Amino acid sequence: MRKSTTVTCLIFFTAIISSIAQTITVSSNADTGANTLRAAIATAKNNETIVFASSLANQTITLASTLEIPVGKNLTVDGAAATGLTLSGNNAIRIFLLKSNMVTPTSLTLKNLTLTKGFTIENGGVFKAEHKGILIAEKCVFTLNNARQGGSAIYGAYDGTCTIKDCKFDNNISIADNTERGSTVMIFGPGASSVQRCDFTNNKGINGAAINGLNSGLLIEDCNFIKNVTSDAKFDTGKENDFLRGYGGAIYLDRATAGPPSTALGSFVARRCKFEGNIGQSDGGAMYLYTDETDNVLIEDCYFDNNQAKKLTATNGGGGGAIEQMNIAKNKGFVVKNCTFSNNSAAVNGGAIRADWADTQISNCTFYNNKALETKLDGWAANGGALVTYFMKKSVVELTNCTFANNYAGWVGGAVASDTTITKIKNCIFFQNTAGNGTNNWKIQQHSSDEFVDLGNNIQFPAKFTNNFNDFNVSKTVKIIDPKLGAISDNGGISLTMPLLAGSPAIDAGSGCSALDQRGAPRVGNCDIGAVEFGSVLAAVEGYNLTENSWKVFPNPSSGFDYVNIAKPNTVFENPCLVSVTDMHGKIYNQEYTESQNEIKVLIVTLPNGIYNISVTNEATLFQSKLIKLK
């Protein structure tokens, strides 16, 4: 029995040792030989991590041939200890090839590296995965990489996934072969991938200069897409899908597949992203989303400014200055909320958005100075300066708490061109939108292409110009009055917005609004018409502290609580602290002294819903914060 116990313990101990991941350190910047990255990959075992000596900081490892990761060898390559370390393909070779297959899916994790000058005549200038390959990239920089066919930085092969966080992609190119997959990051489904807190700048591609997804669910959060272009795309005569070039200046989606990290509201999700100065040579200046009946789309808290959709040929392209959403069949929903679309332009129609064949919900959005540019005597297609919808069979378009101002269409519908029977408007502002009528002197349909279904509380200014049978206000019952809009400006939130000015007839004139406006500020009392609530400001969740970083007010915003709590540092004060709650005009609602040294409870149950200032003073102000009280 004693011997048996010893053997059992030995086996158990050995199992523990074998399960502990080992670390291999690279100390040479040579391509081959002892202590090199290539040697480390060759000797590493499954689940090991390769790191770099600090002596390699700010150095470059120039590779003469591709680094291959064998099937079944899951590795992490982390440059954190060698700040500024660069891996270079020297404009001659791909940097990493991940071997993987259906039986043994294999992963590679890249961290804290600069990857530059990768090159291939096919796909994946820096990284290419084989079947079911898994890539995780964190805090990496991808710059000056080139793939002739697609994925100048990353090419995820069929049935694999990519998880990309805190990375930068700049000046990568995938245009030489003019292929449909020409992009910086090419993700091949049917798995679901995510891109978070990344910057894509100055990249060039053929479809989706930044990201190209094929049958892949995509979650994109907190990213910036700046000056990515598909301007080098050309109509490819004689090739399959010869017209399918130049779509989506930043993002191109060729159908999505539900699954993690997709949500019930979108197998394609873009959240808290900025799209500025992107150019699509065909449709979709910032993004082109082609979906099917299994897909849904959610875009929220995003900013689209100065994106352009051009024309690939005289008869191809030019739709959706910011977004074109087109479908092979009616999808499961197209939702856009809390976004600003400003200064976007489409060569033909949908200066900001073109949406096809989907139940479409757009709420808490600002549309300013977007343009459907085509202006000619027979330019009947140049509709919808801000929004145009097409082929909406058995679909509904709902526009709620949106502000449409100073948009232009070359033909009709300076703000919106959509079908009269399916388009419903509520709590919306239509201000100074114009339509060129193809240079004809008709002066019709300036704001809209038809009368929409009015669900209440809509404002238009000015009124229609004529009494012609084919001229319309946005609805039969819309209120014609100047909404008194302020200039587009920074009023808090991720986007510029257009505030209501004092005395606006839109103030307290809405109903059935969401709890928060476009910026995330609360709608208080009778809500306002339009995207921005008058006088409502964003409150810091933890407030700001003048002398110490450990103060905190919570819960904030507060809904359904009798008290809020103020946590404060363990500092002993000689005198009691004065806690005050005032409204934004200085009216005192609650004021009391407390000798508590740890946590202060403040009664708020009697406060009306709204925004308040809460402060703690003891000879001097110690802490102050805005407090939001909701229902």
CA distance 478 to 493: 29
CA distance 590 to 607: 9
Closest listed residue to residue 182, CA positions, set 134, 247, 136, 129:
247
Give the pLDDT confidence of 418-460 residue by residue, as tens digits. Answer: 998 899 999 999 999 999 999 899 999 999 999 999 999 999 9
Q: Is 449 exposed, middle or buried (0-12, 13-18, 19+ CB in 10 A)?
A: buried
Give the pLDDT confidence of 132-182 residue by residue, as tens digits. Answer: 999 999 999 999 999 999 999 999 988 899 999 999 999 999 999 999 999
Residue 439 is given by DSSP the state G
pTM for the predicted model, two decimal places: 0.84
* Assigned token pair, 217: 């669910």
* Assigned token pair, 305: 């400014």
Angle at 631 between CA 427 and CA 628, to 5 degrees: 90
7 pLDDT above the threshold of 50: no
Dihedral (CA of 514, 517, 522, 524) sign:
negative
Query: Which secondary structure element, helix H or strand E, spans residue 14, and what is its range?
Result: helix 2-19
CA distance 225 to 278: 7
Distances (CA, A) of 294 to 333, 355, 396, 606: 10, 17, 18, 48
40 three-class SS: helix
Q: Across residues 38-65, what is the average pLDDT? A: 98
Give the number of C-alpha atoms closer than 13 A to the C-alpha of residue 400, restricted to the C-beta side. Answer: 19
**Bigger pLDDT: 30 or 314?**
30
- Cα Rg of the chain (Å, integer): 28
Closest listed residue to residue 413, CA positions, set 364, 499, 473, 486:
473
283 pLDDT above the threshold of 80: yes
Do residues 127 and 160 touch, judged by C-beta distance below 8 A? no
CA distance 75 to 73: 6
Strand positions, DSSP E, 144-282? 146-147, 154-156, 161-165, 168-170, 185-188, 192-196, 199-201, 211-214, 217-221, 224-226, 251-254, 268-271, 274-276, 279-280
* pLDDT (0 to 100) of residue 602: 84
Distances (CA, A) of 484 to 305, 432, 529: 23, 11, 12
Do residues 140 and 134 touch, judged by C-beta distance below 8 A? no
CB neighbour list of residue 446: distance below 8 Å, 6 or more residues apart: 414, 433, 434, 435, 464, 465
41 three-class SS: helix
Mean pLDDT of the chain, nearest integer: 89
Domains of the chain, start order = 34-480 (2.160.20), 544-630 (2.60.40.1930)
* Assigned token pair, 513: 């609004």
**Bigger pLDDT: 39 or 610?**
39
* pLDDT (0 to 100) of residue 434: 98
Query: Which secondary structure element, helix H or strand E, spans residue 37, and what is its range?
Result: helix 37-43
Give the pLDDT confidence of 397-415 residue by residue, as tens digits. Answer: 999 999 999 999 999 999 9
Residue 213 is given by DSSP the state E
613 pLDDT above the threshold of 80: no
* pLDDT (0 to 100) of residue 550: 52
* pLDDT (0 to 100) of residue 258: 52
Rounded (10°) CA dihedral 521, 527, 532, 534: -90
pLDDT tier, 568 (very low <50, low <70, confident <90, very high otherwise): low
Strand positions, DSSP E, 49-130? 49-52, 60-62, 67-69, 75-78, 86-88, 96-98, 107-111, 114-116, 119-120, 127-129
